[in-house]
Amino acid sequence: MSRLVVVSNRVGPVRETAKAGGLAVAIVDALRTDGGVWFGWSGDISPEGTHGPVKREEAGRISLLTIDIDQAAYDTHYAGFCNRTLWPIFHYRLDLAHFDRELERGYWNVNNRFATRLFPLLEDDDVIWVHDYHFLALGSKLRTMGANQPIGFFLHIPFPVPEVFTALPNHEALARAMLAYDVVGFQTRRDANAFIRFFVEEYGAQVTEDGLLTVQGRTIKVGAFPIGIDTDTFRQFSLSPEANRQGKRLKTLPGDRCYVIGVDRIDYTKGLVERFRAFSKLLENYPENRNHVSLIQVAPTSRDELDAYIEIRQELEQITGNVNGRFSDLDWTPIRLTTRPLRRRSLAGLYRACRVGLVTPVRDGMNLVAKEYVAAQSEVDPGVLVLSRFAGAAESLDAAIIVNPYDVEDTAEGIQRAVIMPLDERRDRWRQLFSKVQGEDIEAWYSNFLGALRATARKAA
Ligand code: ADP
Ligand code: F6P
């Protein structure tokens, strides 16, 4: 079997860890099976940047190969074009997007530099899999250097409809660069269709029913490859002694408590402000929940050098203070907000101990927390998932209570339905959800994607 080379901005950590972020968790699972190389940023900023040595670390059958970047590259690429331009646009937040030619140049530069450093490390029969919006253009640079291995690309975040994508200055260059890949994968059918529609409307592309897109002399495979979790392992985590201990910590709190849990990086896409308002509305509209229902929000900070992230954190702390000030009692706190990272077993234990899983992003590629919450539930007495219609996960997890996160009344009502849902209905919904989470698990994700990618190699041979 040909060697798999994975490329992503963040590399590792490989071992069970408190790292927040869906991409790292998914890639480790994918690489662990057959082994391979994982290439990307070391996480370090140094004066020599991408010109410095390739750092090597072996973790079982996975070789981690990383390079540094310099401060200017960090500012224009990761903290610049990636997270100030592409991230907001791809999440439909044109109002937050910065358009700046210098950031754009930095982005192309870093893509070119990473491709240049990767190229000599490649072997002829490698299969290369590039991940996420940090490296949309890396494949095209590899091609100009002469790489003719199969190269696939998977976008972990949403792909916006053409009406939004075309607001990005020079979007044509980025889109054309993506044609260098043999397979371009998205989280949902909706995202794949948005990408296809862009090429059909702007370039007159031809597309077949099985997703072969022909445009500008290239034919590439475009499809939805919904990412999943390692369902069985995560379920085992939820039964571990560590998970049990975590669950018991909640039970030792006074009173007859019902817990609602949210787990998200602090990010404006996660709908946290709207969620806290909805929880406040729940206590207002359904007063029987006071002194009874608490929201536990686990929210590790992320990208905290960016203004939009600092502001959202402050806003959350303020709303938490307001809601707690307004409703709390001597022995009851409505919202508990913690920014601490947790080990995965502890997280699984928390999910299992909470009656409601609240996953209400205003836009999200997939959202693995929704799947983890389902996987961790007890079959006998399962909790209820309340899920935003704007999470990619809603495309398959339609047995959840689906809410519109912009509508605080609707979300409050959704939480209320979950809190009072009879056991039979909880079991019935959970069975449907669990079977979807099991069917679309991490293995299905990477084997479907790599199957499609390897098939392109066979065709070319
Ligand atoms: P994103 O990739 O945008 O961060 P996802 O929901 O797809 O969102 O993935 C988040 C991942 O990070 C999940 O696997 C979740 O368990 C993990 N995670 C989030 N918060 C924490 C935390 N505080 N401690 C440990 N893991 C976390
Ligand atoms: O899933 C989207 C994503 O940007 C991943 O690429 C990343 O690992 C995760 O969210 C966390 O973001 P960051 O790497 O910027 O901390």
Residue 380, exposed/middle/buried by CB under 10 A (0-12, 13-18, 19+)?
exposed
The catalytic site residues sit at 156, 364
For residues 242 and 187, state if they share a domain: no
Q: Which atom of ligand 2 is nearest to the CA of 87?
A: 4
The span from the CA of 175 to the CA of 136, in Å, is 8
Alpha helices, H only, 179-306 = 189-203, 231-238, 241-251, 272-285
Edge-to-edge strands, sheet with 335-338: 335-338, 293-298, 258-263, 356-359, 384-388, 401-403
ipTM confidence: 0.97
Q: Are residues 68 and 122 in the same domain?
A: yes
Q: What is the rounded distance in angstroms from the CA atom of residue 135 to the CA atom of residue 461?
A: 27
Q: Is residue 263 located within the same domain as residue 333? A: yes
Q: Report whether residue 352 contacts ligand 2, using a CB cutoff of 6 Å.
A: no
Specify whether 161 is located in the same domain as 237.
Answer: no
β pairing state of 55-59 and 62-69? antiparallel
Which residue's C-alpha comes closest to atom 2 of ligand 1? 22
Helix pair angle (423-439, 368-375), 10° resolution: 120
Closest Cα to atom 15 of ligand 2? 303
Instruction: Report CA(317)–ligand 2 centroid distance (Å).
Output: 23
pTM comes to 0.96
How many domains does one find in the chain?
Answer: 2
Residues 382 and 448 in one domain: no
Residues 26 and 129 in one domain: yes
Instruction: Please tell me whether residues 208 and 168 are part of one structural domain.
Output: yes
The CA-based angle 436-441-444, given to 5 degrees, is 110
Tokens encoding 377: 């539930």
Q: Residue 78's domain spans which residues? A: 4-228+442-460
Tell me: do 34 and 110 sit in the same domain.
yes
Strands 206-207 and 212-215: antiparallel
Whether residue 76 is found in the same domain as residue 219: yes
Same domain? For 248 and 205 the reply is: no
CA of 369 to the centre of ligand 1 (A): 6
Please report the atom of ligand 1 found closest to the CA of residue 369: 6
Give the pairing of strands 36-45 and 4-10. parallel
Query: Is residue 300 domain-shared with residue 151, that is, in the same domain?
Result: no
CA of 21 to the centre of ligand 2 (A): 5
Answer whether 145 contacts ligand 1 (Cβ < 6 A). no
Same domain, 73 and 159: yes
CA-based end-to-end distance of the chain: 15
CATH number of the domain encompassing residue 364: 3.40.50.2000
Tens digits of pLDDT across the chain (461 residues): 789 999 999 998 887 655 555 678 778 877 887 789 999 999 999 999 999 999 999 998 999 999 999 999 999 999 999 999 999 999 999 999 999 999 999 999 999 999 999 999 999 999 999 999 999 999 999 999 999 999 999 999 999 999 999 999 999 999 999 999 999 999 999 999 999 999 999 999 999 999 999 999 999 999 999 999 999 999 999 999 999 999 998 887 766 689 999 999 999 999 999 999 999 999 999 999 999 999 999 999 999 899 999 999 999 999 999 999 999 999 899 999 999 889 999 999 999 999 999 999 999 999 999 999 999 999 999 999 999 999 999 999 999 999 999 999 999 999 999 999 999 999 999 999 999 999 999 999 999 999 999 998 756 65
